A and B are shown apart, each in its own frame.
Chain A
Amino acid sequence: MKDGVRGWVPRLLLLVGLGPATPAAGGAEPAPDLDAAAAGAIDLEVRAARLANGLRVFVHEDHDAPLVALELRYAVGSADEPPEANGVAHLLEHLASSGSARAPSGAYDRWLGEAGAENNAWTDHDATAFTVTAPRGALDLALFLEADRMGWLDAGVDDRAVAVQRRVVARERAEAEATAHGMDFAAINAAVFPPGHPYHRPVDGAKADVARLDRAAVLDFHRRWYGPGNAVLVVAGDVDAEEALAAARRWFGPVPAGPAPDRAEVPPVERAAVPRAMITGAGEGVTLYAAWPTVPRGHPDEAPLDLLAGVLASGRDGRLDRELLGRRVDRVRAWTDNDRLGGLFVVEAHAPRLSPDRLARLLDRRLAELARRPPTEAEVRVGRRRWQGWALRAMEPLESQAAAVAECALAGRSPDCAAEELRRHLAVTPADLARVAARYLDPDRRALVAVIAPDRPPLRDAVELEIP
């Protein structure tokens, strides 16, 4: 169930490269112009337009390879599902490739394949994205297919297609359940966010709900949320910006405007819903997650929380890495995940042979050290530099550039906000880290979630979670 971890994996990848120096670590600060060079290098030049039906279009030219990357991202995900239809966003993502008015069943994949293009899609709490990477000469085809399923999906989806994709979604869940850590993110969300909160439910859907979803429910969701005014279209690559904008107008211009998105306000979560929780996992030993609710994406505290995660665990040389690894703990990570309605700060530790309570005590002892020994300038300096290297690497592929623009634009920010994000991270100070550690990492606010192999003892006083 990659959908559910969609917001998780990039952050995790992003953070494993981050880590502190020891306070003793010396070394001269690299040449000062590196910061400016890095931020400047990922300042993307983007042409923007808004069509009459509300679709926002962004084009970034990059002529390194004869390729184009397209991302159509809708501002809708599992958080927007009706309570009794958990999974409809994910099922719709699958069905979107099953046929539309001009592309009969199977044609979407076949036609793009014939063009030498590849496509994919994902769903998370707040967004659903469709991506195509294609030879530059296939841009028109890709735009036509995306416009067709945005405007006229109902003409191509029949009951049989819904039944087939329900089975595929069920296989996706079964694979996740049979895979070590495949359900961990769903468990963390279920423990931190209270029942009724849009992030409490699994992104891939409750099995019983998915089994009930029919064509009418899926298409109703499509009509409500897949309007052009609720999406951004990004084209990056070997294109002429004017020509790409004209092509976008040609294909998406006739798509009827949809209803305006209508969402209820959701109050922020101050403390985790379930302080101690557990599930039985398919992996070995015990994996323990300490998860705190934090801030939504774009919040000023997001950057210091990101760097704090790196100071704690970076894969090898974070504080927790150095203090816990090798003492019967074989993996430690710290990561953040920030979405529209709130975020998470998670510290993760895996021990093959310890009991969950023993592992929790080990972790708590080390985390308590943060107050007595706040992050140092040397640690934060290394974290900033690593972030810089990561940010540059993350912006190399065309698909990443398109995704970055879509993410910024969908959040209502400048389409080149990746550079602004990097500058925010490069401006973080040790005092910022100490402040966010004190503000957010309060043991009384967190959830301890243990994922336990069947042969390990349970976490004391823990609620056994059931992912529906």
Chain B
Amino acid sequence: MRRRALLLLAAGLAGPARSAPAEAAPAVEAALPPGWGAVPPPVEPPGPAPVPVPAVHHLADGTPVWVVERHDLPLVRVEVSLGCGWLSCAGDPAAARVLGAVLGEGPRGEDPAAWRAALGELGAEARLGVGAMRAWADVETLAGTEGEAVALVARAFRDPALRRRDLVRARRRATDSHRHAEEHGAAVLSAALARAVYPPGHPLARVDRARDFRRVGRGDLRRAHRAILARGAPSILVVGDTTWETVRPALEEAWSGLPGTAGPPELPPPPPRGPRVILVDLPGLTVAALALDMPAPGAFTPELPAVELLAELWAGAFGSRLNLLLRERLGLAYGVDGRLRVWPGHGRWQVTTTVAPGAVGEALDAMHGELWALAKRPPEDAEVEAARRAMFLQGAAALGSLESLAFQLGVAEAYGRPATWARDQQRRYAEVSAEAVREAARRLTASDEVVWVVVGDRFDVEPALEAAGWTPDLVWSAAELFARPRRTASRPVSAR
């Protein structure tokens, strides 16, 4: 499997300017039909994807409802979002997350198996949950059954059972999944980045610990649920084989009367803390995990599209600079994941990979060199154009399923953007100049807020780092990341 690099907002393929076709060796040339492929076929440039603009309606109480009719398959998707999540306004984050795990257990006073079977009989799949910034109740069902499906899901979301046995199970699953988090490379890397980037008290500095979940009770669930219903501003998105007139009565019946007005809040950027190299010791880890974390613009900002294109061409998919180097030229990594994590208020750009512990120094050198090469070898026009086309492809691919289309539109609706946002975003990519992307690269390489994190068995990793001239500024133990915060949590070792 060739692994696809990931970006939260941006993903795709890009690459430097096209190379001239190589001359095939004479023996091969003789085997090829005369002239066959001597010049690669031309490519007709794609344009922005034709993302539809939803029709905007409202329930009688003012709740906005965006509707996109699509009649190619007999399916309907209805997504309901409330602008209140475990990070933003639901009170105790652990309780809100456990609540999210039990919302799908059906409505109060109803047999959960019968409730699920009723959904099953419609061919419906429901997804109820609580995220960092919002809670949701989504259902996708066979056309003609959307009214019943909406009613079933709304009952469970608005008046959930919150049974003790469901709580016990969800609590135990959450506890168990975090009980040994300090032994798992991916969890440790995530915790280390939270600790490295955000100061104590920042919402994103939070590291989940098993004990936070262990103490959640039913009263906590009820409080979190009340907060979400009372505070989160509702919005509804309907896509698929239905019409506003068809679905409206069910929506009025099921979802009107939600009083919340809160939308997802702004999250402040972390204060500048200077560049750092952090080694996290995780004894016994057989691979080393590496991360590079850098500042990025916040969601919906005018600066973001240029950084998305930069992220794409530098650490996007197989043709990106970093993947070509680490995977295709050096064979150091199976792949590189680039991830832009953006919120209203600020964003971060994280690039992660895993390598053999003995190759950590070589991999860091390669990543470091490629990062600073952005200053010496700024993105070329052709690279920017390739990244732009990748964005167009993503926009077009999102039209391929109700779920992906709803995701693209639903983010804009839930964050209070106009209905034209997703369509216009494609135009924004079209309008970003290559110079704007180069300027973004200059800002990035001039930033002194780059954080490097290495998670691995110190016994294996440290010699490889030393051999390559890397000296950690801080050394943490994995267990320490999950301990109760203390005044002096880490040990400064030396300045790089």
CA of A69 to CA of B180 in the docked complex: distance in angstroms?
Answer: 42
Q: Kindly identify, within residues 364 to 415 of chain A, every residue whose CB is under 8 Å from any CB belonging to chain B.
A: 378, 381-383, 385-386, 388-390, 392-393, 395-399
- Say yes or no: is A76 at the interface (Cβ < 8 Å to chain B): no
Cβ A107 vs Cβ B114 within 8 A: no
Cβ B25 vs Cβ A155 within 8 A: yes
Interface segment, one of B31-39, B192-200, B224-232? B31-39
Given known contacts A27-B117, A65-B396, A119-B13, is B327 in contact with A135 (CB within 8 Å)?
no
Considering the complex, give the chain A residue whose CB is closest to the CB of B177. A284
B144 contacts which of A27, A31, A65, A254 (Cβ < 8 Å)? Answer: A31
- Say yes or no: is A17 at the interface (Cβ < 8 Å to chain B): yes
CA of A378 to CA of B104 in the docked complex: distance in angstroms?
Answer: 21
Cβ B121 vs Cβ A382 within 8 A: yes
Given known contacts A2-B1, A113-B317, A152-B32, is B331 in contact with A141 (CB within 8 Å)?
no
Cβ B113 vs Cβ A65 within 8 A: no
Cβ A378 vs Cβ B334 within 8 A: no
Cβ A116 vs Cβ B390 within 8 A: yes
- How many of A's residues come within 8 Å of B, CB to CB? 107
Chain A 314-343, CB-CB to B under 8 Å as 1, else 0, gives 001100001001100010000000000000
Please give the distance in Å from B68's CB to the nearest CB on chain A.
12
- The winner among B18, B32, B36, B320 for most chain A CB atoms within 10 A is B36
Considering the complex, give the chain B residue whose CB is closest to the CB of A1. B1
CA of A111 to CA of B331 in the docked complex: distance in angstroms?
Answer: 21
Given known contacts A114-B382, A114-B389, A120-B4, is B144 in contact with A325 (CB within 8 Å)?
no
B37 contacts which of A19, A144, A163, A383 (Cβ < 8 Å)? Answer: A144
Given known contacts A107-B19, A172-B334, is B36 in contact with A396 (CB within 8 Å)?
no
Which residues of A are found within 8 Å of B113, using beta-carbon distances?
Answer: 21-22, 24-25, 317, 322
- Say yes or no: is A216 at the interface (Cβ < 8 Å to chain B): no
Which residues of B are found within 8 Å of A382, using beta-carbon distances?
Answer: 117, 120-121
CA of A383 to CA of B180 in the docked complex: distance in angstroms?
Answer: 36
- Say yes or no: is A264 at the interface (Cβ < 8 Å to chain B): no
Which residues of A are found within 8 Å of B320, using beta-carbon distances?
Answer: 113
Q: Kindly identify, within residues 307 to 336 of chain B, every residue whose CB is under 8 Å from any CB belonging to chain A.
A: 317-320, 323-324, 327-334
CA of A20 to CA of B114 in the docked complex: distance in angstroms?
Answer: 10
Which residues of B are found within 8 Å of A3, using beta-carbon distances?
Answer: 1
CA of A285 to CA of B173 in the docked complex: distance in angstroms?
Answer: 12
Given known contacts A135-B393, A392-B75, is B169 in contact with A330 (CB within 8 Å)?
yes
Please give the distance in Å from A185's CB to the nearest CB on chain B.
13
Which residues of B are found within 8 Å of A395, using beta-carbon distances?
Answer: 73
CA of A390 to CA of B36 in the docked complex: distance in angstroms?
Answer: 44
Cβ B286 vs Cβ A171 within 8 A: no
Q: Kindly identify, within residues 125 to 183 of chain A, every residue whose CB is under 8 Å from any CB belonging to chain B.
A: 133-138, 140-141, 144-145, 147-148, 152, 154-155, 163-168, 171-172, 174-175, 177-178, 180
Cβ A137 vs Cβ B121 within 8 A: no
B44 contacts which of A105, A133, A137, A178 (Cβ < 8 Å)? Answer: A137
Cβ B118 vs Cβ A111 within 8 A: no
Q: Kindly identify, within residues 341 to 361 of chain B, every residue whose CB is under 8 Å from any CB belonging to chain A.
A: 354-356
- Say yes or no: is A104 at the interface (Cβ < 8 Å to chain B): yes
CA of A172 to CA of B287 in the docked complex: distance in angstroms?
Answer: 11
Main secondary structure of the interface of B (DSSP, over half): loop
Interface segment, one of B291-299, B398-406, B432-440, B469-477? B398-406
B43 contacts which of A105, A115, A166, A386 (Cβ < 8 Å)? Answer: A115
Interface segment, one of B92-100, B122-130, B215-223? B122-130
Please give the distance in Å from A379's CB to the nearest CB on chain B.
9
Cβ A27 vs Cβ B13 within 8 A: no
Which residues of A are found within 8 Å of B37, using beta-carbon distances?
Answer: 101-102, 144, 147-148, 251
Cβ A17 vs Cβ B125 within 8 A: yes
- Say yes or no: is B416 at the interface (Cβ < 8 Å to chain A): no
Which residues of B are found within 8 Å of A66, using beta-carbon distances?
Answer: 46-47, 49-50, 396
- Say yes or no: is B386 at the interface (Cβ < 8 Å to chain A): yes
A397 contacts which of B3, B112, B121, B400 (Cβ < 8 Å)? Answer: B400
- Say yes or no: is B446 at the interface (Cβ < 8 Å to chain A): no
- The winner among B1, B333, B403 for most chain A CB atoms within 10 A is B1
Tell me how many residue pairs across A and B have CB atoms closer than 8 Å.
327
CA of A172 to CA of B327 in the docked complex: distance in angstroms?
Answer: 11
Considering the complex, give the chain B residue whose CB is closest to the CB of A110. B15
Considering the complex, give the chain B residue whose CB is closest to the CB of A284. B180
Cβ A65 vs Cβ B399 within 8 A: yes
Please give the distance in Å from A247's CB to the nearest CB on chain B.
9
CA of A65 to CA of B72 in the docked complex: distance in angstroms?
Answer: 12
B397 contacts which of A65, A123, A285 (Cβ < 8 Å)? Answer: A65
Q: Kindly identify, within residues 160 to 211 of chain A, every residue whose CB is under 8 Å from any CB belonging to chain B.
A: 163-168, 171-172, 174-175, 177-178, 180
Cβ B389 vs Cβ A115 within 8 A: yes
Given known contacts A29-B121, A38-B142, A388-B123, is B393 in contact with A117 (CB within 8 Å)?
yes
Q: Which residues of A contact B (CB under 8 A)?
A: 1-3, 6, 17, 19-22, 24-27, 29-31, 34, 37-38, 41-42, 64-67, 93-94, 97-98, 101-107, 109-123, 133-138, 140-141, 144-145, 147-148, 152, 154-155, 163-168, 171-172, 174-175, 177-178, 180, 251, 254, 256, 284-285, 316-317, 322, 325-326, 330, 352, 378, 381-383, 385-386, 388-390, 392-393, 395-399
The 4 closest A-B pairs by CB, nearest first: A116-B389, A137-B44, A113-B319, A21-B117
Query: Known pairs A38-B74, A123-B1. 11 more at Cβ < 8 A?
Result: A22-B117, A41-B73, A107-B19, A109-B328, A155-B25, A171-B354, A174-B354, A254-B36, A330-B173, A393-B125, A399-B400
Q: Which residues of B contact A (CB under 8 A)?
A: 1-4, 12-19, 21-22, 24-25, 28, 31-33, 36-38, 40-47, 49-50, 72-75, 104, 111-114, 116-118, 120-125, 140-145, 165, 168-169, 172-173, 176-177, 179-180, 184-185, 285-287, 317-320, 323-324, 327-334, 354-356, 382, 385-386, 388-390, 392-393, 396-397, 399-404
